[in-house]
Structure 1
Amino acid sequence: MHDISLLTLLLLCLAAAAAGWIDAVVGGGGLLQLPALLVGLPHMAAAHALGTNKAVSIVGTAAAAVTYTRKAPVDVRTAIRIGLAAIVGSLGGAFFAAGINSDVLRPLIMVILLVVLAFVLLRPTFGAVSGTGPVTRRRVLVAILVAGLGLGFYDGLIGPGTGTFLVIAFAAILHMDLVTASATTKVVNTCTNLGALITFSAQGQVLWSIAAPMALFNLGGGMLGAHMALKRGSGFVRVVLVVVVVTLVCKLGYDEWVA
């Protein structure tokens, strides 16, 4: 167990609650939660930060998935198929994660954020409404390969931003509106978190004493975020996405080049 102060643990729990809310609304809560772990516990190995992040995230993501599937038009069958592929991908990604240096994570996360921001700003109508017509079997296969295996591997290897990328992938490939894409993402993201967590746990890279209290806060944030997204719709999800990405780009840029 890492010896940390009560104040540090409280701040990490508050970050987990905010990350759970963000993750439920638009995905990408790990972009807040993982940097919080790296800052709050600067001597923690990158693999332990990634493993602990997964143990926290899976709780809020699973709760949000249950909330969404009760009220949103989620194709659970397709989501589970993609999720099973995501488990395989995340198991593989987590296997290689031990070799990642924490000094590489910050600039890499910032590049990922900038790509997401550019995509959303250049496509103002993206995800506003669902596409028309049936989704072909080919598109479902592409979603399984890209969102399942591909993003599952990324989630196990690094993690932050996976939920956001899944939302974008489902809206682009399967023509979902942002609320339905967010709902489907929670089912798949729960699977990717599970696959990665199994690997991290087996390697002893989860700090459970820190993850447990953070997970409770993440749970509350996730349930609240899902309810708000369902109530307010795709426009709200899009605004949150842009605000979160811009804020995190500025924060990571400051930490990397100014602080």
Structure 2
Amino acid sequence: MTVGGLDLDTWTIVLVVAGGFVAGWVDAVVGGGGLVQLPVLLLVPGISPVQALATNKLAAIMGTSVSAVTYYRRVGPDLRTAAPMAATALVGAFGGAALASHIPASAFKPVILVVLVAVLAYTLARPRLGTHTELRWSGNGHHWAAAGIGLVIGAYDGLLGPGTGTFLVLACVSVLGYAFLPASAIAKIVNFATNLGALLFFVPYGAVVWGLGLMVGVANLCGGYLGARAAVAKGSAFVRVVFVVVVGTLICKLGWDVLHG
């Protein structure tokens, strides 16, 4: 089967579709779906790294759209937080995508690895972190903090990508003071904006493999819907457990990348 100029056999199609579904579920619960989806897309014969990154964004935005709507209907995230964070995240993601071909990912990975180890230690040392919403600021201070978080993490998403949703959840919990469940709901709205910002660069650039992206995107959408429902049904305690597992996996992945150059 030929998709976007790429020859895909049956097993490759099964692999990318399964990867998209799992990525959508994980991403909807606590972020980090790119840890699954992007490496799977890089296994497609003939695809370039930029094409894989761009196609990953197309598939991911389909999943984040349905999980964001599901969270909005069932959790009711605070749009006064989500809106400024999403706006600056979109701008940051566009800028990050534009820099993606100029700055090597290896330059950032050691720093991100150290931050993640500190995050995991902090989360494990504070078992009550994220169980209840206790906002750190009110008024304009809260909105400026949210906007700053969106800009920084949006730029990271456009530049690298994997783990963006996890970083958003972490920031909403540890910096802003939300519980894990509403943090995940806000993160999905912002993650939709970061994916859109990156696509605004990648689509005119011609890097998206549309047929492959839509195929994986449908699977991601299904996984995102089920993941969001699972998170809402099981609450913040469940999201916290998945968060710890995903952060641990991200540490292992980045640690491997750093050690092997």
**Structure 2-normalised TM-score?**
0.88
The correspondence of residues 159-238 of structure 1 with structure 2, limited to 5 A, is 159-238=161-240
Q: Deviations over 1:100-135 (max 9, x none)?
A: 557779878766654543343233222111116873
Q: 1:75 aligned to 75, 78, 82, which one?
A: 78
Deviates more, 1:27-36 or 1:249-258: 249-258
- Answer yes or no: is the 8 Å Cα contact 1:46–1:100 preserved in 2: no
- Answer yes or no: is the 8 Å Cα contact 1:21–1:221 preserved in 2: yes
Counterpart check, 1:89 vs 2:98: no
* Matched residue, 1:12: 16
Q: How many residues align?
A: 256
Distance of 1:34 and 1:10 partners within structure 2: 15
Specify the code of the residue in structure 1 equivalent to 2:168: L
* Matched residue, 1:50: 53
**Cα pair distance change 1:125/1:14, threshold 3 Å:** same
Q: 1:148 aligned to 144, 150, 153, which one?
A: 150
**Cα pair distance change 1:105/1:170, threshold 3 Å:** closer
Give structure 2 stretches of 5+ with no counterpart.
none
Q: 1:26 aligned to 27, 30, 35, which one?
A: 30
Secondary structure of 2:208 counterpart: coil
Once the 2 structures are TM-superposed, how far is the Cα of residue 228 of structure 1 from its aligned partner? 0.6
Give structure 1 stretches of 5+ with no counterpart.
none
Q: Deviations over 1:144-180 (max 9, x none)?
A: 01x2111111111111111111111111232111000
Secondary structure of 2:215 counterpart: helix
Once the 2 structures are TM-superposed, how far is the Cα of residue 31 of structure 1 from its aligned partner? 1.5
Secondary structure of 2:21 counterpart: helix
Distance of 1:175 and 1:84 partners within structure 2: 20
- Answer yes or no: is the 8 Å Cα contact 1:127–1:171 preserved in 2: yes
**Cα pair distance change 1:255/1:93, threshold 3 Å:** closer
Distance of 2:109 and 2:20 partners within structure 1: 18
- Answer yes or no: is the 8 Å Cα contact 1:112–1:161 preserved in 2: no
Specify the code of the residue in structure 2 equivalent to 1:63: V
The alignment-based identity, stated in percent, is 46
